[in-house]
Amino acid sequence: MSSTHRRILTTLAAACLTLGFAACGDDDKSDKSSADKPAAGGKVITSDPANASKGTITVGSKNFEEQYTLGEIYAQTLEAQGFKVRRRLNLGSEQVAYKALQGGEVDMYPEYVGTALTSFFEVKVPDVPTDADEAYELAKTKYAENKITALERTPFQNTYVVTTTKATDAKLGSPKTISELMAKNPNLSISGFPECRQRADCLIGIRDEYGFKGKFISSDGKFDDLDGGQADLTFAFGTDPQILLTDKYVTYEDDKKLFPPYNISLGVRDETVKTVGPKAVDTLVAVQAGMTEEAMKELNRRVVLDKQEPKKVAADYLKEEGFVE
């Protein structure tokens, strides 16, 4: 077990004792086979001076904390191998990021498999495979048609989680599922990222599948929206560290399985794959081995709650997993 995982398990165990978090240790239930893969720690990345002559590799990401950290991990992995790297880690929404990848403005960026299928390749939400491997294989095929290589998916996924405050939940009768919540409270307000408004796996989906009739508030605030009373509910992410604070927040089960698998796949332009070579690609995949849902919650906690810079958090992850000294 790597030092990162020992530290994460210790942190989560403390959280369980302090918060009485019934779901602790249960996050990877839907993805046991991948989450149980051993970390690839202990194999220090070696630098090849020849890589510096292969041109500058541009790594992109979308515009929120987890993406910044992931972008940094991939960028630093390439730098450790001797590549020159440029960062564009605040591209915007998935549509903006994917356009940048297609157009060659960036050479690679991490995207959630379910997002790629529904937003880029027009796969209807009910048609997205619920099995994470099947969803990844479908996305890989779709990406390949656009001259993009989808690298192996991460163990973790970061699904949408409909969330509210504990106080609001009590007023609503403490339902357990989104169906129960909406059956009695269809006119609540909910906040989400601006692109959520047009997404079948977000606002459109809960309207169609769950009967939501309330107001949508376009916002990046999530938990701040709840705390400030701007929204009754929010579309949080499954790896948000605030979800561990069960004395403050409550989540609802997606009982109709609206939200598809959201494991990360690093999309890399085919020409970039040829430029960097198979060893670099294998190394980019190897650094993902420790990215379980618990690990990502811990990394996100460092950025979101501890206010550490994503660059530092990424560097610490690579060091703790044994990839850099």
- Residue position matching structure tokens 């498999």: 113
83 contacts 268 by C-beta, under 8 angstroms: no
274 exposure class (CB count in 10 Å sphere: 0-12, 13-18, 19+):
exposed
More confident residue, 23 or 183: 183
DSSP states along 182-234: HHH-TT--EEE-GGGGG-TTTHHHHHHHH---S-EEE-S-THHHHHTTS-SEE
Looking at residue 321, the DSSP 8-state letter turns out to be T
- Residue position matching structure tokens 């249960």: 26
Nearest to 286 by CA among 73, 6, 112: 73
288 contacts 38 by C-beta, under 8 angstroms: no
pLDDT of residue 263: 98
- For 26-64, b/e burial (b = at least 16 CB within 10 A) is ebbeebeebbeeebbbeeebeeeeebeebeebbbbbbbb
pLDDT of residue 2: 52
pLDDT of residue 18: 38
Nearest to 99 by CA among 136, 65, 148, 55: 148
Non-local CB neighbours of 101 within 8 Å, separated by 6+ positions: 60, 107, 108, 109, 148, 267, 269
Residue 274 has pLDDT above 80, yes or no: yes
Convert the pLDDT of each residue in 191-236 to its tens digit. 999 999 999 999 999 999 999 999 999 998 899 999 999 999 999 9
Convert the pLDDT of each residue in 120-162 to its tens digit. 999 999 999 999 999 999 999 999 999 999 999 999 999 999 9
30 contacts 281 by C-beta, under 8 angstroms: no
- Residue position matching structure tokens 């009695």: 184
Residue 14 has pLDDT above 60, yes or no: no
pLDDT bin (cut points 50, 70, 90) of residue 4 is: low
pTM to 2 decimal places: 0.84
More confident residue, 92 or 1: 92
Torsion of the alpha carbons at 142, 145, 151 and 153, rounded to the nearest 10 = 0
Residue 42 has pLDDT above 80, yes or no: no
How many residues in total does the chain contain? 325
* Lowest pLDDT segment from 28-32, 176-180, 308-312: 28-32
Residue 9 has pLDDT above 60, yes or no: no
pLDDT bin (cut points 50, 70, 90) of residue 24 is: very low
pLDDT of residue 7: 54
Measure the CA–CA gap between 289 and 160, rounded to whole angstroms: 22
Q: Pairing between strand 233-237 and 56-60?
A: unpaired
pLDDT bin (cut points 50, 70, 90) of residue 69 is: very high
Residue 68 has pLDDT above 70, yes or no: yes
Measure the CA–CA gap between 203 and 190, rounded to whole angstroms: 9
pLDDT of residue 17: 37
Measure the CA–CA gap between 70 and 273, rounded to whole angstroms: 19
Question: What is the percent of the chain with per-residue pLDDT over 90, rounded to a whole number?
Answer: 86
pLDDT of residue 83: 98
81 contacts 53 by C-beta, under 8 angstroms: no
Convert the pLDDT of each residue in 47-64 to its tens digit. 999 999 999 999 999 999
Convert the pLDDT of each residue in 293-325 to its tens digit. 999 999 999 999 999 999 999 999 999 999 999
Q: What average pLDDT does this structure show over 251-275?
A: 97
Task: Beginning with the edge strand found earlier in the chain, give each strand of the sheet holding 216-218 in spatial order.
Answer: 216-218, 190-192, 233-237, 160-165, 249-251
Nearest to 291 by CA among 102, 39, 61, 42: 39
pLDDT of residue 220: 87
Q: Which domains does the chain have, with CATH numbers?
A: 3-157+261-320 (3.40.190.10), 160-251 (3.40.190.120)
Q: What residue type is assigned to position 253 of the chain?
A: E
